[in-house]
Chain A
Amino acid sequence: MNDRWLLISLSLLVFCLFCLSLVAGRNPLPIWQAANEALTDRSSVFALILTEIRLPRALIALFAGATLGLAGAAMQGLLRNPLASPDLIGSSSGAALCAVIVLYFGWQSVSLALLPLSAMLGSLVATALVFALAGRDASITTLILAGVAVNAFATSAMSLLLNLAPSPYAMRELVLWTMGDITDRSMDDFWLMLPFTLIGWSLLLGVGRQLNALTLGEETANSLGVRPNWIRWRIFIAIAFAVGATVATTGMIGFIGLVVPHLLRPLVHYEPARLLPASALGGAAMLLAADIGVRLIPTEAALKVGVLTALVGAPFFLYLILRSRKEQL
């Protein structure tokens, strides 16, 4: 399949899943009626469900999924490592820790933007820390170990905050949030996330060719006119913006950044530049599908979307490790 057809098919898939996400639920929404009513009488029940519940949820899933897929592809290209992804190398947990700190102390009441801003800072610090620990041409093992160390620190700090949470209610809030969830989000949440996400994405525009050149290693890429330090920081900052904003809105949703680029890589002939747009669409499709899934799977308490992606993603991660071990033999 050539690239254009792949991108067209993925776009169609995303569009269908987006529409389905507006309709799907324990009680399906009559979408035409709801849309008509939303345009004429905004106070009707169907219109309210569509514009206040389903639409923000679908939009957040669309943008958050695309961010995670894109960030995974960019990170894997930058580190030339198929096991790099924002959740494995600490970007997500760093963001989550800083966001939890803000939530714990109730600082979000000072300014709503404080939550995404702190998450971005956390994401940047954690990513840079993993990079500093692992070094430039880090092997898979070193990178994963550095990621494990930073993730462990972030998780234990979060556990401490949960442990010290002032009330069981606050603790429940924090726990649910670290699971990764996009229910009960409003358009305000989406509007808050959007600008930072778009800044992050725009920073990734045009890095594809440099990522292609990095296929030959940093020094050869440098001889081709790529500045490795510059590209590295550009991607770290882009991921900090986009993943930080996403984590601040949805909590930690794991494995999309790992799984999606992996599945799509053979379809773009392993070219990092071509993988970026495909992974963004693939990530959006996966999160939209997972979010539809949690609504349709009959469980007593509502299933969190981050739990579902982790349940699917963790075995996939194991499979990747086994495969890379086999390749080393």
Chain B
Amino acid sequence: MSLLEATAVSFKRQQQTLLQAVDLELQAGELVGLIGPNGAGKSTLLKILAGLQTPNSGSVKFQNQALTQLPAKIRSQKLAWLAQGGTIHWPLSVERLVALGRLPHLAAWQSISPSDQAAIEQALQQTGIAHLRTRDATTLSGGERTRVLLARALAAEPIVLLADEPIAALDPGYQLQTLELLRAFSQEKRACIVVLHELSLAARYCDRLYLLDKGCVVDTGSVTKVLSIENLKTVYHIECEIGCNKIPWIIPRRYLYN
């Protein structure tokens, strides 16, 4: 079943084309990776898919319904967006911050119910931050903060999770743990799109990849198809070694000047 479908999405900002006729489809049960160099338009595409920005042309459908037609409350219950980096303006406790994820499910004067509390607890446990629950979220390390913000997104119990570079600040252990978590999340009726720069990890965990460059989808399909030596040379200007020993791996060898 197609959960999210973008058709011919284009986006311009101040005369600059950031996305050009992008098609993307996300099926239930999939973990899809968005890869591409810095400034390729990955984050912009993710925001459009989350309904945070409206494309200049083209359409985005969630479960065959136009995203723009979806009321904000329903949209926020079904789609969770995890910002790149992520800011925390006030020193709230970790638990209160994760509880913000339940906001889309609460009616105007409704307080947190036992089922909300259970979702918060599960998110804290899944991301391994239950021991930090009383800590001031602004004093956490980069890695801990990333996991807190991921827990906030998971606490919303969304159908689609759109994560923008969720492992950028994490050490290798937490990188694997986070991608395992996203892999486990993307089961049955749920799915996840994740922006990644770690190509070997993208190869290992994603079902399919979209390779973006200069606002266009350069290639899409299976991991082995997209992560070809030729593609990486064209898009990243790198020479690399690609191998597979049950798990695919990519070693960048050399930057190719021009």
Contacts and interface: CB of A to CB of B under 8 A. Distances in A.
Contacts of A105: none
Contacts of A225: 72-73, 75-77, 103-104
> On chain A, which size bracket covers the interface?
20 to 34
B83 A217 contact: yes
Contacts of B88: 215-216
A223 interface: yes
> Binding site of B, secondary structure by majority: helix, strand, loop or mixed?
mixed
Interface stretch (B93-101, B118-126, B171-179, B188-196): B93-101
B106 A209 contact: yes
Nearest to A272: B90
A216 B96 contact: no
Interface string B30-64: 00000000000000000100111000000000000
Interface string B85-114: 011111111001100110110101100000
A119 B86 CA distance: 39
Given A206-B109, A219-B47, A219-B52, A224 B90 contact: no
Nearest to A266: B91
Instruction: Identify which of A223, A225, A271 gathers the most chain B CB atoms within 10 Å of its CB.
Output: A223
Given A206-B108, A223-B81, A225-B73, A215 B92 contact: yes
A213 B156 CA distance: 13
Contacts of A220: 81, 83, 86
Interface string A205-227: 01001001111110110111111
B121 to A, nearest CB: 19
A219 B109 CA distance: 23
B80 interface: yes
Contacts of B79: 223
A222 B76 CA distance: 8
Given A223-B80, A227-B72, A216 B93 contact: no
A269 B92 CA distance: 6
A6 B187 CA distance: 45
Contacts of B51: 223
Nearest to B92: A270
A269 B90 CA distance: 9
A270 B96 CA distance: 10
A136 to B, nearest CB: 12
A80 interface: yes
Interface in A224-246: 224-227
B76 A223 contact: yes
Nearest to B93: A269
Contacts of A216: 83, 86-89, 97, 100, 149, 152
A69 B103 CA distance: 26
Nearest to A80: B89
Given A206-B108, A224-B76, 6 more contacts: A215-B100, A216-B149, A220-B81, A223-B50, A223-B81, A225-B77
Closest 3 A-B residue pairs measured CB to CB? A225-B76, A80-B89, A223-B81
18 contacts: A80-B90, A215-B90, A215-B92, A216-B86, A216-B97, A216-B149, A222-B52, A223-B50, A223-B80, A224-B76, A225-B72, A225-B76, A265-B90, A269-B92, A269-B93, A269-B96, A270-B90, A271-B92
